[in-house]
Amino acid sequence: MQTQAAGNMYRSLVFIVMVTVLALSCKKEEPSANMNIDGLDRPYCNDPDAINYNQTFPGKPDNSICYFPTQPFKGSFLFKDSIYDADNKFRKVQELYITLSATSNTKMEMFGFCGGSEPLKITADRYYKATMDSTIVLVNNIEYNLYGQYLCRTTDTISGYLLKDKVDSNKLTFFFTVASDSGASYHKGIGIKQ
């Protein structure tokens, strides 16, 4: 029995010595007012509408470095427009000169699609996609969503989207649906920056 008691006392003594050595070997670090943690002084964009939102976080917020969704789309493009009918049968190819201009960080206007001076309204997101805005019509105090917007005539509506190529900054692809009194047609193709 004494051997077991001596063994327990020996283990307790070793434990106490180890804890004492560890406690005495640690020293409290003095706080430094000049601490420089890598990266905390670099700027980052803090606007949730921006493409580069929080990309270099943590750091100092600096919205002057923000890159907004309309920026990659702005400019003039030559559209190679392949037109298909409602049965998805190829009809023709046309070339259109299109101009995309920003009206805000996320809103754009597209000129040149139907030759008129009325622009088409487009909303761009931070994922390099720009979608045709929908028109809401009020009839007898009831709102109707057209799922697109008027095109060249009030009997035509257009819906669809543009995608900016992330690799080739001069290229974008598009897919539009045009609904008219004579049926639907699909416009698919690419735009090359001019």
Per-residue burial over 178-187, b = 16 or more CB atoms within 10 Å of its CB, e = otherwise = bbeeeeebbb
Residue type, 29: E
C-alpha dihedral sign at 57, 63, 68, 72: negative
- Element counts in the chain: helices (H) and strands (E): 1, 13
Q: Cα–Cα distance between 3 and 17 in angstroms, integer?
A: 21
Choose the CATH number for 75-193 among 3.30.160, 2.30.29, 2.40.128, 3.40.50.
2.40.128
Q: What digits encode the pLDDT tens for the residues 37-88? A: 666 788 999 999 999 998 888 888 999 999 999 999 999 999 999 999 999 9
Domain chopping of the chain, boundaries: 2-27+38-65, 75-193
Residue 70 Ramachandran class (φ > 0 left, ψ -120 to 50 alpha, else beta): alpha
pLDDT score, position 173: 95
Q: What is the pLDDT of residues 97-118, one digit of tens each?
A: 999 999 999 999 999 887 766 8
Q: Specify the pTM.
A: 0.70
Q: Which residues pair with 107 in a beta bridge?
A: 123
